[in-house]
Amino acid sequence: MSLNILAVDDSRTMRDMLNLTLTQAGFTTHLAEDGQDGLEVLESLDPEPDVIITDINMPRLDGFGFIEAVRSRDRHRSVPILVLTTESAPELKQRARETGASGWIVKPFDPERLVRALKMVAG
Amino acid sequence: MTDTEDKAKADQTELLSFRVGTQEYAVDIMTVREIRGWTNATPLPHAPPFVRGVINLRGTVLTIVDLSDRLGMGPIEFSERNVIIVVEAGRQLVGLLVDAVSDILTVSAEDLQPPPEMLTEGPRTFVNALTIVQERMVRILDLDAALPAAEIEAA
Amino acid sequence: MSIENDPMAEIRATFFIECEELLEALQDGLQAMEEGGTDDETINIVFRAVHSIKGGAGAFGLEDLVRFAHRFESVLDAARSHQLEIDGEVLSVLFRAGDMLNDLVSAARDGEAVDPSLTEEAGKALDALIGADGPDGDGAEEEEVADFAPMALSLDLGPLDAGEGAEENAAGSDVPAAPGEAGAPGGPMAGPDGSPVSAGTGFRIRFRPHSALFASGNEPLHLLRLLDEMGTMTTLCRAEDLPPLGEMDCEKSYLHWDIFLETSEEENAIRELFDFVEDVCDLTISPLTGEDMAELVRHAEAIAREEVSPGGTAGDGALMAGDAPGSSGEVASGKPEAEGSPPPSAPKTRKAGGRSVGSGRNEGGSKAAGKGKATGGVKTKPTVRVDLERIDRLVNLVGELVINQAMISQSVEKAGLLTNPEIDSGLNEFMQLTRDIQDSVMMIRAQPVKSLFQRMARIVRESAAAVGKNVRLRTEGEGTEVDKTVIENLADPLTHMIRNAVDHGLESPEERVAAGKPAQGVVTLSAGHRSGRVVITVSDDGGGINRERVLRIAIDKGLIPENAELSDNEIDNLLFLPGFSTANEVSDLSGRGVGMDVVRSAIQALSGRITIQSRPGEGTTFTISLPLTLAVLDGMVVEAAGQTLVVPLNTISETLTLGARDIRVLGPETRMVQIRDTFVQLFDLGAEMGYRPPLESFAGKVVLLVALEDESRAALVIDGIVDQRQVVIKGLQDTFGRVPGVAAATILGDGKIALILDPADIVANSRNKAPNTQADLSLAG
């Protein structure tokens, strides 16, 4: 099964890289450049993505705000959300979890680990 | 094309020969971009006398060198048959003003002989090699020596 | 390898472009902080910039960059969380770190190395701010710097491929693998590949998800499946907590699992699987014991009985092996979509999935599609990266078009067709379109001067530090757009001018205080458009030009006669004379024998002008005025000695026809014309250009009054004015090197080349030939 993935990151480099990795892994990728944009893209996707990957520190709407907003919508209450961050600090994970994140990927990710993380939350 | 033909081709050069005054010169045809009839050049102030000026070559500015003057034979005599040979020397295009184009010659490497050592201090000959074609002596022009940008600038 | 064929090279290129933007944001942020903007968002922007650079650098294994960015980021993080107070000292360290980051990015891009001692110095200064003692404060993260190699993906997806196989296996067998097959309790067991594994090689895992696990979007199903891939798994789904159907809350978790996993994997590998959920489940992992194995066998027997009598109920627990989560998941998680769906398998055609990137977005859908998959559905201001060569080619073609349009107009006019209103208006429209196209093309090359100004901010910091002055750079009009080539060629002269301003323009802090000024000097860099030109100023609030000293130096160096009487402005302009240097001792900064004359030449090479204004005690301002573009120019087409020449319109202040009585003679050769109450020296253009010997008489000739850089004027004698029009600039440099008195060439409507003159250069050359006329300066003002 090919996963349908929404990736949200304000860094173009990261977006390109996620796109490349996910595409090469056979997944369908949708990209957004910050939380606000992510919400808009999310609403335009039908069916909802199998997984959302999001950066934390972004302009306009950051990762936490984005996750909160996603979780607050009935349609997306249980969509797996992976937080993509270079910050592996426990308190950050804690906050991500409290906000509703399913898991996290520490940047720089290697493709294998990214795919594994996707399987952990989305099969 | 067979291998032997290839080899035969390999050490053969095609030359474009032309007349400067009474002498016959030639350049490797691979350096020639085009041949144009004479048009009036816009003179450049304070340029060396062998620089005749610049002309418009389809939107680019082309410097025209009077080869006769450059080779120390005095300014070219004006004639309707005068032509400009546009050559690529170094990375730039230059127009050589000559009396007339004569021929396209195919010569092989062994037909070329080095020019005699020039010991005098007179005008340089700017010749790479000599060859005999149908009993005419053809002088193969050393383009880079004749048209170094730096020298033109400094002159 | 060409970039098109290598997606990683392309992303790498993107990364460095993005770095430039991020560094710009970083500079902006630091500058805002310097101006008092230490609000959270500003600090966060700076943090984000460094953070993103680090993130990208990590992906490309640029370790020096990652390490430094990490140290930088730690400090910013402290600032962000208000553990570090931002003051002037901290800012100067941050600025220095920003410069270093800039250097490291450039070095990484160009494959060069930065002197490690410099990096270390900047790094130590950062560490000191937060009391960290070295780059290894967070070593764990750094070790994760790994070369990012998605190309290896298809070869290296161990878990994926293994999963595929295992699932097919599981799906293919209706009968769960009986524990008996796996081996008697305590006896030798077969691993997934059939090789014998010793007893107890494996784990008993008890996994009880909390409701929060589901709330966080996690799904036990996926985890169990991954566990299954690690070895031979038998799962007991415990449903004893399950309430009656009517009381079930699908948000709640009622199930838990006892998992017997025979595997050669380490416990860590199993724990890693539960990494995301360890805080939202009860998880115990213990090595398999003989007792566990016995329990396993009991359950296997139980399930075998159920196989025979399918009507039976699961009792206290359903036992499943292999594809355990397949049916238990639906009950436990209340996620009907999991029901009956075949286990997700690894994609067999890996490329197929990428096709619909960017699809499904309603607004801007077509735009997104047009951008291709590299950017996917990202809603950015759509941009394209274009080879500069292609733009230059377009610029050239448009130049051709302009010339061609002029030619057509000329021949139409010659043929007397302008009386036909249709042709006339058609031609006018053609002309307008040509202009519009030209403007649009030129805009492609235009860039804001911001990046240039930011480079100058660094020059200010470095030169201020070098001479021990406290200097602030103020910038105005950073958004002003200027031709890319102009920006590139402005960097050197501006650098020199900025250094000059810091080094010579500004007084020492003590002197400033003594003069009642703030100790901190201000250098202002501004850009703006003024009457069709770009005007850039560099000013300082220093002591102004010390005219006495300048005059003395000029006389000592023999640049002007001992008894020369010069106006203030003329003295100021002496700075531009070749070989003039005001520094008593060659200073480390602006010395090196490079004077303002070099700056002026550089500006002139851009068809620009530079002027100077100075007020004692208040400061000095240099004003650079440049054409908007290097490609076209408004010119006056004139004739002299039978040649058609173009004089840039902006150099001409006045034109007049000479009468015999207007001309005054000074000495053997110098002739002047009286313009109102001043005398202006006449230059015979035909003779100056070497077209013919000097004229005996100028009577009846036309004169162009041209303004020179020093604000004096000169009069060029010509035969007549032909036209006034926009011309396309064609460089002579490429074909010929510099021609004295000539700025460039252009192609006129008749296809002929006309030279574009540089009047100031003509005058300067003429005066250099006859140095005794230097004294005329005093009359020229």
C736 and B54 in contact by Cβ < 8 A? yes
pLDDT at C754 over 90: yes
Nearest-angstrom CA–CA distance, B131 and B135: 9
Chain A residues with beta carbon closer than 8 angstroms to that of C374: 16, 19
Above pLDDT 90, what percent of chain C? Answer: 12
The residue with greater pLDDT, C405 or C537, is C537
* Res C776: pLDDT: 38
- Give the type of residue at C590: S
Work out whether strand C196-197 and strand C189-190 pair parallel, antiparallel, or are unpaired: antiparallel
Instruction: Kindly provide the residue ranges of all beta strands, DSSP E only, lying in chain B, ordered along the sequence.
Output: 12-20, 23-28, 32-37, 51-57, 60-66, 83-89, 92-98, 100-108, 127-133, 136-141
Give chain A's largest Cα–Cα span: 34
Quick check: C348 contacting B, CB < 8 Å? no
Of C150, C215, C353, the CB nearest to A111: C150
The residue with greater pLDDT, C184 or C560, is C560
- Which chains are adjacent to chain C, needing at least 3 Cβ pairs under 8 Å? A, B
Residue C376 in 3-state DSSP? coil
Read off the pLDDT of residues C236-294 as tens digits, 9 standing for 90 and up.
777 777 777 667 666 666 777 888 888 888 888 888 888 888 778 888 888 877 777 77
Q: Which of residues 79-108 of B touch C (CB under 8 A)?
A: 92-94
Chain C residues with beta carbon closer than 8 angstroms to that of B46: 690, 739-741
Read off the pLDDT of residues C413-427 as tens digits, 9 standing for 90 and up.
888 888 888 888 888
Domains of chain A: 4-101 (3.40.50.2300)
Most confidently predicted of C159-163, C190-194, C545-549: C545-549
Q: How far is A94 from chain C (nearest CA, A)?
A: 9
Of C148, C159, C350, the CB nearest to A17: C148
* Burial zone of C215 (CB within 10 Å; 0-12 exposed, 13-18 middle, 19+ buried): middle
**Among C93, C92, C94, C115, residue whose Cα is nearest residue C103:** C115
Please determine whether the domains at C3-151 and C449-627 fall in the same fold group of CATH.
Answer: no
- For an interface test with B, give the residue of C736, C739, C742 to mutate (most B CBs within 10 A): C736
* Res B9: pLDDT: 57
Chain A residues with beta carbon closer than 8 angstroms to that of C171: none
Residue ranges per domain, chain C? 3-151, 158-338, 388-446, 449-627, 632-780
* Res C778: pLDDT: 34
* Res C382: pLDDT: 64
DSSP assignment of C501-538: IIIIISPPHHHHHHTTS-SSEEEEEEEEEETTEEEEEE
Mean pLDDT value across chain C: 74
Chain C residues with beta carbon closer than 8 angstroms to that of A68: none
Q: Find out whether the peptide bond into A47 is cis, omega within 30 degrees of 0.
A: yes
- Average pLDDT estimate for C428-433: 86
C753 and B42 in contact by Cβ < 8 A? yes
**Among C116, C146, C278, residue whose Cα is nearest residue C213:** C278
Q: Exposed e or buried b for every residue in C397-410, given b needs 16+ CB within 10 A?
A: ebbebbbbbbeebe
Chain A residues with beta carbon closer than 8 angstroms to that of C137: none
* Res C325: pLDDT: 41
**Among C476, C456, C471, residue whose Cα is nearest residue C521:** C471
Between 3.90.580, 1.10.287, 3.30.70, 3.40.50, what CATH number should domain C388-446 receive? 1.10.287
Which pair of tokens denotes residue B58? 């389809």
C599, C601, C607, C608: CA torsion to nearest 10: 30
- Average pLDDT estimate for C551-577: 83
C217 and A111 in contact by Cβ < 8 A? no
Nearest-angstrom CA–CA distance, C306 and C312: 6
- For an interface test with C, give the residue of B33, B38, B61 to mutate (most C CBs within 10 A): B61
Q: How far is C625 from chain B (nearest CA, A)?
A: 27
Q: Check if CATH label 3.30.565.10 holds for domain C449-627.
A: yes
The ranges of chain B with pLDDT < 50 are 1-2, 119, 150-155
Residue C106 in 3-state DSSP? helix
Nearest 5°: CA angle at B137, between B132 and B139?
Answer: 105
Nearest 5°: CA angle at C627, between C622 and C628?
Answer: 115
**Among C706, C703, C532, residue whose Cα is nearest residue C634:** C532
* Res C102: pLDDT: 92
The ranges of chain A with pLDDT < 50 are none
Architecture of domain C632-780: Beta Barrel (2.40)
Is C745:C730 a contact under the CB 8 Å cutoff? yes
Read off the pLDDT of residues C651-677 as tens digits, 9 standing for 90 and up.
888 898 888 777 888 877 788 888 887
* Burial zone of C58 (CB within 10 Å; 0-12 exposed, 13-18 middle, 19+ buried): buried
Read off the pLDDT of residues C3-37 as tens digits, 9 standing for 90 and up.
456 778 888 888 898 898 899 889 889 988 888 87
Chain C residues with beta carbon closer than 8 angstroms to that of B60: 730, 735
- Which chains are adjacent to chain A, needing at least 3 Cβ pairs under 8 Å? C
Between 2.60.120.620, 2.40.50.180, 3.60.20.10, 2.130.10.10, what CATH number should domain B15-148 receive? 2.40.50.180
Domain C3-151, what fold? Four Helix Bundle (Hemerythrin (Met), subunit A) (1.20.120)
**Looking up tokens 């109102």, which residue turns up?**
C676
pLDDT at C379 over 50: no
Q: How many CB pairs under 8 A join B and C?
A: 71
Chain C residues with beta carbon closer than 8 angstroms to that of B40: 752
pLDDT at C500 over 50: yes
Chain A residues with beta carbon closer than 8 angstroms to that of C55: 11, 13-14, 86, 107-108
pLDDT band for C494, please (50, 70, 90 cuts).
very high
Nearest-angstrom CA–CA distance, C147 and B111: 59
* Res B83: pLDDT: 93
Q: How far is C41 from chain A (nearest CA, A)?
A: 9
Of C400, C643, C754, the CB nearest to B59: C400
pLDDT at C522 over 90: yes
Chains A and B touch (3+ CB pairs under 8 A): no
Rg (CA), chain B: 16
Which pair of tokens denotes residue A100? 């509703």
* Res C734: pLDDT: 53
Q: Find out whether the peptide bond into C342 is cis, omega within 30 degrees of 0.
A: no
* Res C538: pLDDT: 94
A112 and C153 in contact by Cβ < 8 A? yes
Quick check: A13 contacting C, CB < 8 Å? yes
Nearest 5°: CA angle at C541, between C538 and C546?
Answer: 95
* Res C588: pLDDT: 42
Chains B and C touch (3+ CB pairs under 8 A): yes
Nearest-angstrom CA–CA distance, C116 and C114: 6
C154: Cβ contacts below 8 Å, ≥ 6 apart: A24, C350
* Res C709: pLDDT: 61
Lowest mean pLDDT among C306-315, C337-346, C418-427, C552-561: C337-346
- For an interface test with A, give the residue of C42, C218, C230, C349 to mutate (most A CBs within 10 A): C218
* Res C744: pLDDT: 83
A1 and C345 in contact by Cβ < 8 A? yes
Nearest residue on chain C to B60, alpha-carbon basis: C730
- For an interface test with A, give the residue of C19, C42, C153 to mutate (most A CBs within 10 A): C153
Mean pLDDT value across chain B: 81
Nearest residue on chain A to C374, alpha-carbon basis: A16
Nearest residue on chain A to C362, alpha-carbon basis: A44
CA distances from C433 to C428, C430, C542 (A): 9, 5, 49
Above pLDDT 70, what percent of chain C? Answer: 73
Q: Exposed e or buried b for every residue in C522-560, given b needs 16+ CB within 10 A?
A: bbbbbbeeeeebbbbbbbbbbbbbebeebbebbeeeebb
Quick check: A15 contacting C, CB < 8 Å? yes
Chain C residues with beta carbon closer than 8 angstroms to that of B92: 734-735
Residue ranges per domain, chain B? 15-148
Read off the pLDDT of residues C735-748 as tens digits, 9 standing for 90 and up.
555 678 888 888 88
* Res C134: pLDDT: 53
The residue with greater pLDDT, C595 or B128, is B128
B43 and C691 in contact by Cβ < 8 A? yes
Nearest residue on chain A to C274, alpha-carbon basis: A120
C732 and B54 in contact by Cβ < 8 A? yes
- For an interface test with C, give the residue of B40, B42, B57, B62 to mutate (most C CBs within 10 A): B42
C754 and B149 in contact by Cβ < 8 A? no
**Among C493, C690, C524, residue whose Cα is nearest residue C608:** C493
DSSP assignment of B112-145: -BPPPP--S-S----EEEEEEETTEEEEEE-HHH
